[in-house]
Amino acid sequence: MPKGPVYLLSLLAALRSAGLVLVAEAVARGIAALADSDLTAETTRLIVVLGIAGALLRTGSEWATSVVARRIATDVKRSIRGRLWRQIIAGEASGGGTAVLAADGLDDLDDYYISSLPATIAAAVVPLLIGIRVLGADWLSAVVIVLTVPLIPFFMVLIGKHTQQRTDAALSALTRLADHLAELARGLPVLVGLGRVDEQAAALEQLQRRYRERTQETLRWAFLSALALELVATISVAIVAVFLGLRLLNGTMELEPALLALILAPEAYNALRQVGTAFHASQDGLSALERSQAILDRPAPPLADRPLAG
């Protein structure tokens, strides 16, 4: 994939972070001014400007990210699908599994390029910029974020490996099912003549059952991963809130920076949580992409071994 779209997505993620910071600044300033009974006309105008600018930046960057990601997904699918169909027509690739992959399997790439790729880029940009602003407001909250943020990628990798294995198994089961259906369609007249239809129907039912089981296993691990990520993020934000609350009670911290740190802290974890969610949603797409590359990189068979057209 060209580096240009990646740089553009990184810039949009930075603009989204700036929008989050501006909105948090507006909310923190407004609540602090109300609590101190110091909400002047000048402060109100500043809060409104910050809030509107932040909302526009965030909304605009999210819309632009969606447009860019969809364009990338469309271009990649068109390129790979065209190459696969050319190989099938030329007899360089055969089997029902390849046809299913070219027709429907590549649609799973949408989850990767539209969700997972932008989320991965945002996870590298958003926590860094958010952390810098939190550091300017409260260094202790920034330290807590720095110490707890790595826990989310750790659990993502730990659980993601098992999810990847189960996703690959589900895709392999689907491929076997498609190949079996293709062979069954070609040999159906012979099977009817030999009276072997019932046996093939039983074998087909067994393949379907295996595919359902693999899919359910993948969903169970995806839900477990989401639960683990949510738990880590919730506990981490709670730790930040406890430290802020204790210092507010002791009078060693002002309200505005405490609110700013408390509002921004969840956003640092949210970017990483979105990566975990998008990662599991895009596993089918990644598996389809790997299978497509394996088929396209496979050397063409000799002319004598290719199936005859028609």
Per-residue pLDDT tens over the stretch 214-233: 777 777 777 777 787 788 88
Judge whether residue 92 has pLDDT over 60. no
Lookup: tokens for 177? 């099912």
Checking if the pLDDT of 186 tops 70, the result is no
pLDDT of residue 216: 75
Q: Is the pLDDT of residue 193 over 90?
A: no
> 48 or 298: whose pLDDT is higher?
48
Categorize the per-residue pLDDT at 308 as very low, low, confident or very high, splitting at 50, 70 and 90: very low
Residue 205, both tokens: 């039912």
Fold of 3-304: ABC transporter transmembrane region fold (1.20.1560)
Share of the chain above pLDDT 70, in %: 67
Judged against a pLDDT cut of 90, whether residue 283 lies above it is answered with no
Residue 34 has pLDDT above 50, yes or no: yes
Of 222, 235, 288, 221, which Cα lies nearest the Cα of 266? 235
